[in-house]
A = this chain, B = another copy of it.
Amino acid sequence: MLNNGTMNQDAVITVLQALASPARLDVYRLLVRTGPEGMVAGEIAQALGLPPTNLSFHLKALAQAGLLTACAEGRYQRYRAHIPSMLELIGYLTEECCAGHPEQCLSTPSGNACLDAALGRNELPPE
């Protein structure tokens, strides 16, 4: 997960499951905001109001997914967001859009209401 190759489906599912919990999404975004400085576990627990036991559980899931790195500092553990994993996830989720013709996703209204909805177009002009 720390390598920069293409993620396989199992790895992507692990990442998505890691992010798909309110507590873990909060932890991850907090660390994204903090950037290279990161935070130690106790600071995260205090910032989010999570019991340490529960936070540990969630940190483990995020780290195993490759979304965080953990770094010992004496008796503290510093955690940081691992940005390349997020970039790989995004690549996996968007690759082969429209079979390699992504311009189709943003073309002009089709006259088909369902199709336009799928493409995020308004049927009626916004008021």
* A residues adjacent to B (C-beta < 8 A): 2, 4, 9, 12-13, 16-17, 19-22, 25-26, 29, 32-36, 38, 68-71, 78, 80-84, 86, 90, 93-94, 96-99, 101, 104-105, 110, 114-115, 117-120
A-B contact pairs, 10 of them (CB 8 A): A9-B26, A12-B25, A16-B19, A20-B20, A29-B96, A32-B93, A33-B96, A35-B105, A36-B119, A83-B105
Closest CB-CB distance, A120 to chain B, in whole Å? Answer: 3
Is the CB–CB distance between A104 and B36 below 8 Å?
yes
Q: Could you say how many copies of this chain the assembly holds? A: 2
Main secondary structure of the interface of A (DSSP, over half): helix
Chain B hits for A29, CB < 8 A: 93, 96
Point out the residues of chain B lying under 8 angstroms from A33, CB to CB.
96-99
Of the residues B32, B68, B101, contact of A96 by C-beta under 8 Å: B32
Q: Is the Cβ of B71 less than 8 Å from the Cβ of A114?
A: yes
